[in-house]
Amino acid sequence: MSKNGLTPVRTALPNGVVVLVQSTKTQPAVAINFAMVSGSVCDSADHIGIANFVAHVIDRGTSSRSAEALAEAFDNRGLSFAVRASRHRMILACNCLTDDFEMVLELVADIAQHPSFPDREVGKRRVEIETAIRRDADSSAEAADDLVRALIYGELHPYGRRVSGTLDSLGRIDRTALIDFHRIRCVPKGATLTIAGDVNPSAVTDTVSRLFGDWSSDPPVPVSLPPVPEANGRRRAVRQLPGKVQADIAYGFTGVARSDPRYHGFRIMNNVLGQFGLGGRLGNTIRERQGMAYYVFSGLEANIGPGPLIVRAGVSPANVDRAIASIDDEVGKMGADGVTDQELTDAKQFLVGSIPRMLETNAMIATFLQNSEQFDLGMDYDARLPGLFEAVTLDDVCDAAESLLAPDRASIAIAGPIDEDVEGAVSP
């Protein structure tokens, strides 16, 4: 990596796999990030959660290796290997020593291309996912998050559903459905293999071509996101979870897509509002000055489609209405009046200063480059990013706040030990 930023070598294989290789010499180790276009947006209406299910089973055996053989191969070398499904991607991620790189990459290629989905492993992973779904349903923070996304996006939009699905939808997914999903959705076209570490880019490209070059499939069926329902008014839902000590609030709006030219202005606006966690306007007012929240912060999730901006807070059940009123006040003031020159300066300084921390490890570099490819940001995005933040004007941020932050359009979800007579309350 040069002092001027990342210098990845990009290669596109004939079958559609894009290979990004960033050579670093900080340690004799390599991070591998293999992402396929097969996230939860690809779930069918009858099989919500199937992408997540595939991610849980895909590494539990291949046509040439048993689950035990794969586990032994990773464990014997102390490797960290994980598979997860996000909204738009299924990602296989691994860290290994340089000496083990080719062997590990061969395992990743085998897992991605030739999973066997053994019946026994399907059953074991089904139980694990069911346990996780029940655990999250009993978490007031997770329940509030689920509710607010459903309010914002509705039942027909994949952003309004849990990536893991529900107990009911999980029960309809069998081994055949998993195999079919992998065959149709886990394909080379659009996949990105990102490698960062102590490697020679030319040698890596040759190895990748050998391991992934013969992989073929039918073209993937395009997935289009439905339009996000327009927020014509304020919406509220409550999930009663008796026995909890804390109530959790999720207060959200539809934000922007990652490709939106206003994105960096929205990032700065969110930073001022509450990205600092204990800082920002929300933290300074609701937690520090009013002493009302255990935590309060805001997060902007820009994605292929318009992701949400969600304010999250944990409060005493007795303070729910007061906390929501305080969030209304801070959101309303920023929407009407924008931000100050000093807030703009401070936010820019914070965000620009955080860029090096985004690239501290090989794994972080691999993820950064994968995101740059996914959102078509360019391979020099890390070098351009400070300038993109610096170019944001006060008007840009104020326009972002005005377009988004309106309490009368907010979707509000509350979960916890809430009285049953609260308007909008729903059972778990």
Helix ranges, 32-174 (H): 50-57, 67-75, 101-113, 119-137, 140-153, 167-171
Distances (CA, A) of 93 to 55, 85, 127, 178, 363: 12, 11, 23, 20, 8
Closest to 90 measured CA to CA, from 182, 3, 220: 182
Contact 401, 407 (CB under 8 A): no
pLDDT tens for residues 108-125? 999 999 999 999 999 999
Q: How many CB atoms lie within 10 A of CB 394?
A: 16
Closest to 39 measured CA to CA, from 89, 3, 80, 74: 89
Closest to 244 measured CA to CA, from 340, 165, 142: 142
Largest CA-CA distance found in the chain, in angstroms, rounded: 66
Q: What is the pLDDT of residue 356?
A: 95
Please provide residue 96's backbone torsions phi and psi, each rounded to the nearest 5 degrees: -150, 170
Rounded to whole angstroms, the Cα distance separating 405 from 300 reads 13
pLDDT tens for residues 264-322? 999 999 999 998 655 799 999 999 899 999 999 999 999 999 999 999 999 999 999 99
Which tokens hold the place of 426? 């729903």
Q: How many CB atoms lie within 10 A of CB 229?
A: 14
End-to-end Cα separation, the chain, in angstroms: 50
Q: What is the pTM of this model?
A: 0.94
Distances (CA, A) of 316 to 62, 144, 249, 417: 50, 15, 11, 9
Q: How many CB atoms lie within 10 A of CB 321?
A: 11
Contact 29, 198 (CB under 8 A): yes
Where does residue 395 rank: exposed (0-12), middle (13-18), buried (19+ CB within 10 A)?
A: exposed
Domains of the chain (ranges plus CATH)?
Answer: 9-212 (3.30.830.10), 235-426 (3.30.830.10)
Please provide residue 72's backbone torsions phi and psi, each rounded to the nearest 5 degrees: -65, -40
**Order of strands across the sheet that contains 247-254:** 293-300, 308-315, 247-254, 411-416, 235-240, 425-426
Q: What is the pLDDT of residue 423?
A: 46
Taking the chain (428 residues) in runs of 10, the rounded mean pLDDT of each run is: 79 97 93 97 95 98 96 88 96 96 96 98 97 96 97 94 96 97 96 97 94 92 90 94 95 97 97 80 92 94 97 96 97 97 96 95 97 96 97 98 97 89 45
Rounded to whole angstroms, the Cα distance separating 419 from 234 reads 21
Contact 295, 313 (CB under 8 A): yes
Q: What is the pLDDT of residue 222?
A: 87
Rounded to whole angstroms, the Cα distance separating 366 from 93 reads 9
Contact 94, 32 (CB under 8 A): yes
Which residues fall within 8 angstroms of residue 215, CB to CB, at 6 or more apart? 15, 17, 109, 113, 188
